[in-house]
Every structure is written in structure tokens, then in C-alpha cells.
Chains A and B, each alone.
Chain A
Amino acid sequence: MSDMSDKRVVVLGAGPGGYPAAFHAAEYGMQVTLVDPAISPGGVCLYRGCIPSKTLLHIARVLFESREVAEWGVTFAEPQIDLDKLRAWKDRVVSRLTGGLGSQSRRRQVNSIQGRGRFLNAQTIVVEKPDGSQEQVEFDHAIVATGSQPAVVPGFPVGSPRVMDSTGALLLSDIPKTLLVVGGGYIGLELGTVYAALGSKVTVVEMAKSLLAGVDRDLAEPLERRLKEVFEEILVETRVAQMEVKDDGMHVKLIGLDLPNPERVFDKVLVAVGRKPNSKDLSLENTGVKVNAKGFIETDPQRRTAEPTIFAIGDVAGEPMLAHKATHEARVAVDAIAGKPTVFEPQAIPAVVFTDPEIAWTGLTETQALNQNVSHVVARFPWIASGRATTLGRNEGLTKLVLDPHTERILGVGIVGVGAGEMIAEGTLALEMGARAGDLTATIHAHPTMSETVMEAAEVFHGKSAHIYTPKQDRR
């Protein structure tokens, strides 16, 4: 490898885009400075997003399962929830992971500066440190990985302790008796599930016609059925017209079709209406970086911005706003800085909704195939025919493949069911490797596992599944 020790790289933001970028650049031998407001790397994902929410969702699942087994003759006493202890466990998970990254960072001789960075020009940033002092850092290349934050709804009383965003919800300060979740996207449903498991009566309002807008309906439906039992109420095509803080709670006025009692009172409200990129407050106007109307930094396929010395990755560089997309982009951007012929062109970016059941998809969804007029066939394997799903009493799942009818290539995989988030990896690998239906049927899958449903969905395509009878699909 050629000597890169004279390349000075500054990374702004130490989330799942920023810290891999810093570490990867350090592996090349570059001089790396990592700037983040937190003392250890981690970003939203580790501190206020993926990791704490999954810690709590695991608790939620244990709680639900302990109740469900009553049907099979096993009864537990009502669970006692020690909220302080639970919160401490969640914080331990977070600090263990972020602390681990901190020591990784030191071992790789990354110069970490705590503070907020902004650009003075295309070669210099200034970092405002927590003690009020400033430090200037010059760079040959900068990587902006400042992520995103919860979007706010204008007019909502955001200052009130009764109104939370996802960050506030994960603090777990108390368990409200009643909770209104505004937004039926994945964040609202995941956190709503946590609070419902802990005992809150949860109401979800969603403006669109259904929860999880954009997700294939046959994948969303099994989740919707289950959530109807877990949540107090799910109100679609409904929106919040007014919200007022009073002593006895949040007084909310809803607007929806045929809503019997539009005025309601909740102990707390969780606002989860999406996220917006953190591209302000970086003084990008001092550089040639271009930001689009939605606030995303525009980049080329190597993640280089309009300012040649500056790259942008992760949520701030565009959708999908997913941690693993950021991590992959980190590699691309650093390789580009190292002069490698690299480009961001994944065949598929998996997406997972960590509800119960989980929903996961990768590559082309059936909805996209229809909208984009892509010639395709869909092979479905319902989990009613899965032995492993039956042992869990969770037959509501579905595994489906979107295939090219001519080449038999896998174009997309969608799964709903317990463990879908783990299973989707096989689908993404299949897409990246250019697998065909026959490759999946010819790959031995362990029995009894849910992963067999991927193989069997491919067998359905060929009309040869052992566990479900379907005539061979019409290829036209």
C-alpha cells in the first residue's frame, strides 16, 4: 500500500457512518480526526436509536411471550417491572458498546475531539468544545457524517414533558397509563410496542391509509393484525388537529373519517413522523457543498460533494436513512480518498422493522415492481406450512421472492415473521451474488428453521414445494 500518512482526514460525526470511516481511514495510515459532541463514538444509532430500542424491544418480546404461553399451559405471575433497573440495563448496553468503540478509536490512533464542528472553508473546520473553547483543524479531506434528528410537527408543544420524540421515549422516564403515538411508521410502531408491553394503553394515529406506508401490504398485514391486539386503537387516515397541555394530560383533537370521539386525553404523546438530515449548523455555505430542498447533502456515486475535498455519508447524504447504508458508504468514501476505483452501487439495501412480528425486505419490493412496471413474478411461501414457525405458534409469517420471469433471478425478498430481520441477510447475499431461484432451491437449509422458507419460496416458483401445493407459476 502506498504511503498515506500525509493525508489529513476529518470526520464530522461518530455514528455508524462516521466511526467506520475514521477507523477505515486510520487503517490506510491516514491522519484522522473524529469530531463528535459525545465523548465516545456511537451516534444516534448507539445512543438514541437502534441499540437502546432493540434492547427494550427484546424485553417487550419476553413480556408478550410469557403471557402467550398461558395458552399452552404455562402460567407466570404478572411481571413486576423495576423501571430504574430496566433503564440501567439499557444504559449498560449502550455504554458497553460506545465504550468499546472509544477504546477501538484510541488503539487506531484516531484523534477524537469532543465538540461540534463547522466549516470555515474547504480546508478547515473549527470545533466548538463543551468548555466553550475552540480548536481549528485543517484537512485534505473531510467526511460529513452528521446524521439526522427526529422531525418536529409545527404547532406541537414540544417543550412539554408530556410530549416526546424517539429520543425522549428511549429515556424511559416513566410508563404513562395512556400514550398517543403520532405516526405509524417503523419508529412509532417499535416504540409503541415497547410501551404497550410495559403496560401503557397505546393509540396510534397515522395520516395514510395504512400503517407502514410503502411496505408491501401482504407483509404489513400480519403485523397490523397483531398490533390491533397489542394496541388500544389504531387510527388510520387520521391526523392530530390540535394538542393542548393541561394538568390532567394532553388534550388532543383528532380529525379522521367517522371518528366517534375526536377529542381525547392522553398522559403522554410520542411524535414519530420521520427524521430530517443534520445539514444546518455546519456552515456549509463557507464551502461549495450543495444541499437539496429536503436538506440532504448532494453527492456523486463516490459520495463526494460538489466541494471536491468534502465527502458526505449516511443520513445527511440521503435516503434510505439506515445505519448500515452509512457504514457501507463510509468504506466507499474512504476508498475514494485513498484513490481506489470505488463506487456506491449496492444491488440491495436491506430494511428491517423490528416489531413483533418483524418485517424485512431487500432489493425490489413487489410494490416497486408494479409501480416501475418491472416484469416480475412473485413466489410466496406462507409460514402456515413451516414446521419451525408452528413450533413457535407463530404461523402468521410469510416469505416471498420477487423474481425475473425470464432469467429466474431474484430481484427482491420480503419477509414478515419472527426473526425476519436475521433472515433477510440471505436475501441480500442472493441479490448481490446474482442468485437465481434454482440457486436457492439447490442450497441446503437447516431443518427445522425459518430460513427454510426462503428455499421453499424458490421451490414454489418452480411449483415443487414439498410443503405447499402450487401449480408452476405462469411465466408470462
Chain B
Amino acid sequence: MATAFKLPELGEGIKSADVVSVMVKPGDVIKKDQGVIEIESEKASAKVPSPVAGKVAEVRVKEGDKIKPGQVIITVEEGVTAAAATPKQTAPAKAAESKKQAPVAPEPPKAALAISAASDRTPVFASPSVRQFAREIGVNIRTVPGSGPAGRISMEDVKSHARSLAAGQVAASAPPAARPAATPLPDFTKVGEVTREPMNAVRRATAAHMARCWAEIPHVTIFDRADITAAEELRKQYKTKAKAGGGKLTITAILLKVAAVALKTFPRVNASVDMAKQETILKRYYHIGCAVDTPRGLVVPVIRDADKKSILQIAAELAQLSEKARAGKLGLNDMQGGTFTITNLGGLGTTYFTPIVNAPEVAILGVGRATMESSYAEGMCRPRLMLPLSLSFDHRVVDGADGARFLHWIVDAMEKPLLLAMEG
């Protein structure tokens, strides 16, 4: 029978100690008073001697543990001396034991070990169907925070984690220490009545991602406006055709196509910065994100290969994605891989604003509300529909002049729709 050796009382006022080192391992034969572990408390560090002699059966603490008096440190099989502990004749028997154990002991299979090797041994706290769902949408279940009792992971947890990942919160699974340091807040209740509401997953993701983009990227924002009087005429003409295709022909849909062609013309705007390698990554694909306001918060579905699609196709796809976004049904795939983003606040009356670049992209186009203005040209004033455009870009890769040329190309293309056909 093994004896449990517990941590003795450490003296007045000391309630716990940190294990600095463990000096024995299972199978070791130890003498009475031999040091077993080294601990450090607020007051002192000391070796803890074993009160008995024998063979160490198990070690229940490890380096870095905080332990309390009374907690079992090791268990010792008493009466085993150094000589008796290693009889030679048991060696073949032991080998055979492990051989025979093979069919009986349900050791976790190797593959399962490989999967969980990166994390701890604790089984995933989610049912098989939830685990399968996570695999299907490409989410590592071990990074999903569970909302159930004791952290049990539900289907909804996997979905909301996927949404937050998609919103770009790379640091989703990072320890709290990696979050941006929060400035201490004053006690608002001394000033007046307040309520606190917890951030939902999308809010948390947006907060962390935007803070990181803002901190990392040297932003420049430039403004211009496009005369879309002609484009608007065309939009009205083709509106019914787009509707028949299941889409809604909006200025955003047209801008998505225009931006894709502009990006092809200005490859440095369709890029990412690799500061670690001191390289600019130019992308040969044109996936454009479109910010959508939903009841849960901001999400950015991505139109893939926008350069290869017609405006009518884009309109149809955008309508579907926006619908999915509002229903909270976007998959991770719907939100990944963007190379540029368009955000339209025109519907809310905004004109110019300074959008934040959605890293790792390097530019974002903000769209405002088009208004009728009198425009002086060729000796006369005429009413023209003018669209305010704001372009924010990452000055690490895109210089002011590049940005200006890019935005001007877009303005030009909106004013002369044929340009798209000519140069795109």
C-alpha cells in the first residue's frame, strides 16, 4: 500500500507555495529525509524532505504548481529499498507484461494523440455532432470558447466563434494578455446612472480587429467625388434586368466591379505588407469585401473574383450574401480571403468619412450619399448627381500619389462607364 506524502504546514500565515522544482520521479527509490520538491512561498524557499523511505509510486505535483499544506505531493511504497527495487529476474516478465497488455488496455490511438498533441489531454467539451459541424466549416473546436455549464461548447458557440474569426479577429484564441491594454475607467456611477452590457462575439471581434488595424497601419484618407449622372441613368435602365436575375442593381454593385478593374490596374493597392520579411505581397486575385450592417454588428462578406463577374452577376451575389449576413448565416468561407473592402454609409446620409483599412488589406473605399449639385462646365451650370468617395490606404505600401491615381481612376470609370469596357 502506498503512503501519501502531503505538504506539511509551512508556518504561520503561509497558505500556499509555488513548486520551483520536482526532484524525484515515479520509480525512484528515496531515503527518509531526502529532498522531494523545492518550494517557494512569500517568505522563503525550501526543500521539502520525505518523512519516509521507499519507492516513489507517483508524483502529483509539477513545476509551477501552487500547492497548499495538506495537498499530496507524492505517494511512496514503503519498505522498498534500493536493493529490492531492481531485481533482475523481473525484467523479462515486465517486457511480457507490456506485450500482453496490448489487446486489453484502451490506449488512445496514435492518430487521436496527434490531433490533441498541441493541446492538453482534456477531451473536447462538445458532442460529436458539434465537433463534426466545426470540422465542416473549418473551425478548430479547441479554440472555441464554450458558453454552457463549465464551458460546454454548443452549436451556437461554434457559429459565433466562426463569425468572430471571419470578422478578422486573429487573436480570438490568444490569451487575455494579448488583448490591447485597456485604460482604467473612472467610476461612472458617481456621475450618474449607467448600465453595462456584455459585448457579443461580433462586437468583441470588431473592437479587437479595428484597434489592431488602427494601431498598426499608418492611415491616409483622401476624398474625391464622381459625377454619376450618366451611371445613374444606366442603373435605372438595367434595374429591372438585375431584379430578374435575383439581384439589386445598386451603386455599390457597380463600384465593386469598378474597384476590381482598378485593382488590376494598380496592383500595389491589391496587396498585403509582410513587415517580418520586408516584402510586399501582390495578389493575383480580386476578392472584394462589402461591409454589411446587421443586427449582430458589422460583417464583411466577400465577392470572390469580382474582376471576372459581370455587374449583374455581382448584383445577384451581393443580394444573396447580404441576405445571408442579415440572417446570421454567413459561413467562414463567405468572409475570408478579401483583398479590398468597400463600405457604403450613403444610405444613412453620410458624405465623407475616414474608413479604417481592414488588415491585412491595404485600402478601403468609403461611399457616401450622392446628391444633386450644380456643376459648372463648358460655360454653364448644370445639375449633376455627385457621389462622395473616401479612400483610406496603408502608407507603408501605397504612397499619396498612388492613392490619388487609384481613386481618380475609379472616379473616371464611374463618369465614363465605357472606360470599364475599354480598360477592364
Contacts and interface: CB of A to CB of B under 8 A. Distances in A.
Interface of A: 151, 183-187, 206-209, 212-215, 237, 239, 273-275, 298-301, 303, 318-322, 325, 341-351, 353, 361-363, 365, 370-374, 404, 406-409, 411, 431-434, 436, 438, 476
B396 to A, nearest CB: 37
Nearest to B152: A434
Contacts of B121: 372, 374
Given A185-B100, A273-B100, A325-B109, 7 more contacts: A186-B104, A213-B104, A344-B111, A348-B123, A349-B106, A351-B104, A408-B150
Contacts, number: 141
A439 to B, nearest CB: 9
21 contacts: A185-B100, A186-B103, A207-B93, A207-B96, A207-B97, A208-B93, A212-B104, A213-B105, A214-B105, A273-B100, A274-B102, A301-B112, A319-B105, A341-B138, A345-B112, A345-B115, A361-B106, A407-B151, A409-B123, A436-B149, A476-B71
Interface stretch (B58-66, B190-198, B369-377): B58-66
Given A214-B101, A321-B103, A351-B104, A343 B115 contact: yes
B32 interface: no
B98 to A, nearest CB: 8
B135 A341 contact: yes
Given A341-B136, A345-B112, A476-B68, A432 B100 contact: no
- Looking at B106, B127, B132, B151, the one whose CB has the most chain A CB atoms below 10 A away is B106
A301 B110 CA distance: 8
Nearest to B71: A476
Contacts of A186: 103-104
Contacts of B127: 432-434
A208 B103 CA distance: 15
A347 B150 CA distance: 18
A373 B125 contact: no
B349 interface: no
Given A351-B106, A432-B128, A436-B149, A208 B112 contact: no
Nearest to B133: A341
B107 interface: yes
Nearest to A300: B111
Contact of A301 (B58, B101, B115): B115
Given A341-B135, A372-B121, A409-B150, A187 B96 contact: no
B88 interface: no
A226 B106 CA distance: 24
Nearest to A408: B150
A interface SS class: loop
A319 B107 contact: yes
Interface residues of B, number: 45
Given A320-B107, A434-B152, A436-B150, A346 B93 contact: no
Contacts of A411: 123
B105 A320 contact: yes
B183 interface: no
B114 interface: yes
A321 B102 contact: yes
A319 B93 contact: no
Contacts of B115: 301, 343, 345
B257 interface: no
Ranked nearest first, the 5 interchain pairs of A and B with the lowest CB-CB distance are A407-B150, A214-B105, A208-B97, A301-B111, A207-B96
A38 B202 CA distance: 59
B124 interface: yes
B159 interface: no
A207 B99 CA distance: 11
B134 to A, nearest CB: 9
B218 to A, nearest CB: 40
A348 B92 CA distance: 32
Nearest to B128: A432
A187 B103 contact: yes
A209 B97 CA distance: 9
A344 B100 contact: no
B126 interface: yes
A353 B112 contact: no
Nearest to B59: A373
Given A274-B99, A320-B109, A214 B125 contact: no
B124 A237 contact: no
Contact of B135 (A342, A363, A370, A373): A342
A213 B100 contact: yes
B278 interface: no
Contacts of A434: 123-127, 152-153
A273 to B, nearest CB: 6
A345 B107 CA distance: 13
B219 interface: no
Contacts of A325: 109
B131 interface: yes
B135 A274 contact: no
Contacts of A300: 111, 114
B93 A214 contact: no
Nearest to A407: B150
